[in-house]
Structure 1
Amino acid sequence: MRLLIVEDDPHIAELLQEGLGEDGYACDVAGSAGQGSSLARLFPYALIILDVMLPEGHDAGYILGRELRAGGAQTPILYLTARSNVEERVTGLDAGGDDYLGKPFALRELRARVRALLRRSSGLARNVLKLPHGWQMDLAGRTVWQTPEAATPGPTAAGAEPVRAPAQAELTRREFALLELLALHPGRAFSRQDIIERLWSGEAGVEPKVIDVYVSTVRRKTAEELIDTVRGLGYRLGKLAHEW
């Protein structure tokens, strides 16, 4: 998932970029409200972390949040600022914010709030998502596994007990991010370019065929039916058991 960090303190911006990167998020950084406004209108971010005090003024973050909402943006906004009294939190929420975290903050808490906002924006209440064919993924633990009863028996020698497929899939950060994107939007098909824009942060030279390689690898590590190919468009999450 691709996030936008609007923060003029380079040390905090780097901390956020590295910390969220450990969770597989691709992060773009803007050092001013103006730059943040341009990026927010240019790319389909899953979430915006927005500092309140920016070079344009003490309330520049609030102003940007209001402008984005007035323009129809539905992207979740997490305000991050040293001004964290009750009045400031109320102002932030009324300025289009979905959450408010004061500085100094614990990175662990911020990461949890990011997960919660992403779940909420997708209409989900839990960190564990159900996938097709008994597979599940834990957004907090960054793990993907298949329930034992749903595992497909593997090849066996004569007279031997059936060997079940591995219960857990060892996905890389990017592979997990790809599956997470599809799982948070079940039924929605993403083109290869859509996926690139949502998973890569300002990295140039990413070819659409790279997405095919990632999809192939995720299928190999889990199940072929986990990701559907939509002819002429791209990919989407496979159908859940109750949809068959």
Structure 2
Amino acid sequence: MAILSRSATSIIAMMIIMGQISCSNLARDFDITWGNGRGKILNNGELLTLTLDRDSGSGFQSKNRFLFGNIGMQLKLVPGNSAGTVTAYYLSSERWDTHDEIDFEFLGNVSGQPYTVHTNVYVAGKGEREQQFHLWFDPTKDFHTYSVLWTPRTILFMVDGTPLREFRSLESKGVPFPKSQAMKLYSSIWNADQWATQGGRVKTDWTLAPFTASYRNFYADTCRAGCRWMSEELDPTAREKLRWVRRNFMIYDYCTDAKRFPRGFPPECYARF
């Protein structure tokens, strides 16, 4: 299935062949930033793991910053009973009080129950644009690619090339859009059993620790003026796939939460695809 128009997809495929989008050596591209040894880069830089136990979680960040691009990585999430754990995976600028952020958070669950994929977009320090989804596969059985296509016109959250969420630039309607602050890629695993699983009703079972998430095959295509895909839109097939995801797998949308917004929804909620 094409995500962008056929011409844009062909351009991205050609850049992969030419090596302009390449799988990285994770030791070259990332720093383990916290966790006192719980984060590890293994197999000559081919694999990165983050671990959570009762004493601490762990995290990493990219060495480079990105301003627009097609940025992704393969993740395999914590298997089994992951209730209470959160694996965060996001782009963020570095000045916290006015930070921009494009956010995936994977909320663990009891064995046999689906993960919740929590997404959000922050602009100038303000978020509150949450959408949540279940996935159409078990994200703990194998690696899957989670990526962000970020252009001056749109942000696409994607899973294995399928669009999960679109956040379009609507600055003409007074909706701020992240376009001026470069971001690093971050990930962390941590305990959030006060809220993460079923509203905090299910707590972390520490007898099952340690909990480990795994990462591989990072790529970042950040070319700007020469990339035609920077101005491409979703093609009709991809837009229908996005609708399919919303119909079948969305479990929360801030744009339908009337209790949260009794005086009216944010302006971007009225510009639906």
Question: If the length of structure 1 is used for normalisation, what is the TM-score?
Answer: 0.25
Name the structure where helix makes up a greater proportion of residues: 1
Higher relative contact order (CA 8 A, sep 6+): 2
Name the larger-Rg structure: 1
Name the structure where strand makes up a greater proportion of residues: 2
